[in-house]
Amino acid sequence: MSKLTHNGNIIPKSEIVKAIVSWICVGVPYFFGWVATFVTGIFVALTSEQQKVHPQAKKIFSKHSDKYIAEGSSGEWEYRNSPYKILKWWNNYEDGTLGEPSGKHSARSKGNERSFVSQYMWTIRNPFNYAKRSLPLFHCKVNDCDIEYWGDFEISDKEEGQGGWHFCKATNRINGKVYYWYRSVENIGGGKVKVAAIGFKIKPSHALSVQDGDDEDKAFTVRLPVPSNVD
């Protein structure tokens, strides 16, 4: 079990500086990969095809949940990506180009998730996804880390009233590498929130339980505080 330490609400300046340096070192190559997605995503969507093997050894077919079928999903999911190596890093590592196996993206697309537009929109919504989920530079193996945090233990944008912020530091017990994460959630009323985030998607609660093998790699991400619906 990982060690969890709460350090209060005042973040030392030295930790802020280290976090910013870390985010720049990871963020610069990630930024170029993210920008490239708007072009490479076109070719990913055009060339996607059903894959025979999932990189996480998961199923490559499934039925959508009844909830999303009722909301208009196509009913079935398959794992699709582009087969071309030059496009590999812009494929979607876990879900493929058709969105979640549950059918959420399919329902959002009115059952047309196999269309070029839908696959392209999913790809740019999850930019540079295969790279950030599979390359060590872009993700933190949270099961191998002890976690320290400042601010709130739990915050959420899933329902109103759970706003707040936390700054997390995960230290790998094997190699000593350090990963940082900052996230804030502001409830602005009307069923909307503003979420700002940068770094590796670490939560204090990750120290309290072992994450499943397909969920232990916490990828680097950036989210701007644009108003969005409580989801």
pLDDT digits (tens, 9 = 90+) for 181-198: 999 999 887 788 889 999
Torsion of CA 117, 114, 157, 171, to 10 degrees: -100
Summarize pLDDT for 2-32 with one digit per residue, the tens.
Answer: 899 999 999 999 999 999 999 999 999 999 9
Angle at 202 between CA 81 and CA 163, to 5 degrees: 110
Instruction: Considering only residues 188 and 168, tell me which one the structure prediction assigns the higher pLDDT.
Output: 168
pLDDT band at 160 (very low <50, low <70, confident <90, very high): low
Domain map of the chain by residue range? 4-27+139-229, 29-134
What DSSP state is assigned to residue 191? T
Summarize pLDDT for 74-111 with one digit per residue, the tens.
Answer: 999 999 999 999 999 999 999 999 999 999 999 999 99
pLDDT band at 212 (very low <50, low <70, confident <90, very high): confident
Average pLDDT over residues 44-48: 98
Helix axes 116-125, 13-47, angle to 10 degrees: 170
Which residue type sits at 227?
P
Task: Look at residues 150, 136, 120 and name the one whose alpha carbon lies nearest to residue 16.
Answer: 150
Longest Cα–Cα distance in the chain: 51
pLDDT band at 41 (very low <50, low <70, confident <90, very high): very high
Yes or no: say if 114 and 98 are a contact pair by the CB < 8 Å rule.
yes
